[in-house]
Chain A
Amino acid sequence: MEHRRKLFITLVLAITLLGSSCWDRRELDDLAIATAVGIDQAEDPNKLLMTVEIILPQNVSTPGGGGGQGPASLNIQSQGTTPFEAAKRLTFESDKRIYFAHNPVLIFSEEMAKKGILPAFDFFIRDPEPRRTAWMLVAEGKAQDLINVQTILDPITGLYIEQLIESTGAASQIATLMVQGFLERLMSPTTAPYCSIIRIKGKENNKSMELSGTAIFKKDKMVGKFDYKEGRGLLWVLGEVESGIITVPCEKEGNIGLEIIRADAKITPAIIDNTLKVIINITEEGNLGEQECPIDLTAPEAWQSLERKQAEAIRQEVLAAVKKAQELNADVFGFGEAFHRKYKALWKEQLKNNWDEFFPDLEVEVLVEAKLRRTGTTTKPAVPE
């Protein structure tokens, strides 16, 4: 009796456990893995056009040889009034279910970004499949054209763009943000979101792409653009400069390139004589990277003057970014939140709802402490004595 009961329980468990596991099984060969998602305005003004790049695993070459002929990825498109509707309609064109969990880049066309991305953004936050670690981008022109570019260095366009973004630290002139970071700024009452801008370079059969600046948003609408100099100005304030070259002129002719090694920033809000003021302290360390002029810079006085020039160059970059941001009235630096942290009561009573009136006239003081550490493998310039 006992024996039969045990057999019965085992059977019930085996059937329930094994039988039930079929609902959400997702076999790899039933999935089409999305590696880039682009959102454009469709011709119908009420609809949007979603372009998705999917991997063709059979054509992806492996290091041990093999891999196939033909392109490594395929672009498919669909229209819908919302992104989710468009995403579901992608299956009209694909025999596999589109799987968004590994998507590395989310690209909005400039037109969409200027109209406001919030309506299209919710799906990428709410749905459990797309991840918030995807990079946010604005495409100059149409997102679909960008995704259609056949990239050479990495045959999968989305992964190529991801690599472009992840290596921006080398120059630190373009600010990048993931969906999560964008969302956090979007939810702040004062801080403005930003993301990188990407555009097509070259024509016809020789197309490639490049990051061309930083898109500045006000709430969910793109209002302007930071160029490379302003982009680094923003990164200085955020303390996110990783590396890059600061160019300063020599005494007479030629330039000196100073390599940034590390940098940090501190924002201190203050209220002086009833006016709001922000003090930005930036500390930086650099190396002498290159010089075009034949002067010995290693002499103590020349070295100190070079440090001062370096600090001034950084200051100018920051001021350029601040000026542009104040013109656009978009607080990308998070000055508002800095006041929020320090002046809780004032924030709640006055600043929170009227920040747009305070920010353009905000007095900003930039203090830079820049050090030069090393000279590379040479000391004096390579000139005949």
Chain B
Amino acid sequence: MTKTLPYFLLGTSIFLFSFLSYAKTEKVTETPLPNGLIVHEYKMQNGMRLLFVPERSAPVFTYQVWFRVGSATEKMDPKLKKTGLAHLFEHMMFRGTPKVPDGKFDTILSEAGATGLNATTWNDRTNYFESLPKESLDLVFRLESDRMANLVINEKLFKTELGAVIGEYKMNEDKPSRVAYRELYDLAFTVHPYKYTTLGTLEELNSFTVEEARFFYKKYYAPNNATLILLGDFEIPQAIKLAEKYYGKMKSQEIPEHVPPTEPAQEKLRTKEQIHPLAQTDLIMTGYHIPNINHQDIPALEVAASILAYGNGSYYEENLVQAGIASSASCYTAKSRYPSLFVTSVQLATGQDTKKALSVIEEGVNFVRKGKFSSTELERAKNQYLLYTYSELLSLSSIGSTLGESLMSSGSYTRDFEILEAIKAITKEQVVEAANKYFVDKNKNLLTLKPKAK
């Protein structure tokens, strides 16, 4: 195992409640990252959270705004009870405000030299981001805060953007792997909102109204539901002043903490077959129910995923892909706010037998459950995870994404690094125990996506 600085032990112990607070903005913590950069956390009076990561090796910065709302939230909201609006609304945010008319937001930022201007929506969060030269910090604060408070939502813009979203929906329908993913979650969940996709259904999309969009905006795009992550070349006092100037007047809202229906424990194996007109070979996906990101078993499950499918030396790469049974194989632990899935995805090679592939997938599961992996394989798996996490620290935007995803799903922006520390110390016994707890048939969902018969 590679030796690294005990950065996180240092980070957790700091918790500096600074006396150097600003009029309306309080300093909360200061946490070093594994690469030595420091995350400075502040909280504004209206509840907006600010994470600053100064890094001055180039005259640029990355600006990300994260909202604690996603497709699962809207499904739980008693006034909406549908999915698709959170994502459709993400599109609407690029339209206009009274001060920045439709079409101008992109243009102004582009003229200032913005790169990576985009947004994404997921189950439990939505984020907006861009990177700019350092001179444009004031401009970005102005534009981002303006669209957070003053968005124009009218029928015409709503319908146009709905067209683009339907285009995105159809584009996904043409991708067998996306359809399989949707069907797996639909199979695995019976009542929890993770059952539904972020994109929603065509029926739901066509049913949304401008009033629902306005309701959604007012309720969830509030400062106490938002986090600004700013990384790069800037001074913290300057950033706090700008935050207070542009976000300070926004009023906090009452954000309901929706409690999702508890997914009943699965009692037996569930299976489903689906046909896709563009599929070429069978795609097998399995999903085992696992706990939420803050659960103590998550690090062990991450190591299990790494043993099975991270790197060319992984079990499935060797026994499925290099053996010619599959053209690709992957595993991941969905680290989410609520209990989710440990997913395996195997695309069969042409002419290969699905039964054979299923048997190798099961052998892999037993390889972990029975602890057949050596100490070298355990170390390989750990270091592959380390490589992946450290690689995320190579650019400002990916550092921001790591902090944001962690915060949105766990409540702590350092959760990913806590998992990393736990993985460094994990034992074979812990991995075996977790595998035996979760990788059992009565907890398993099996989806097979097949080509249309020729």
Say whether A associates with B.
no
Taking Cβ atoms with an 8 Å cutoff, the residues of B that contact A are none
Residues of A within 8 A of B (CB): none
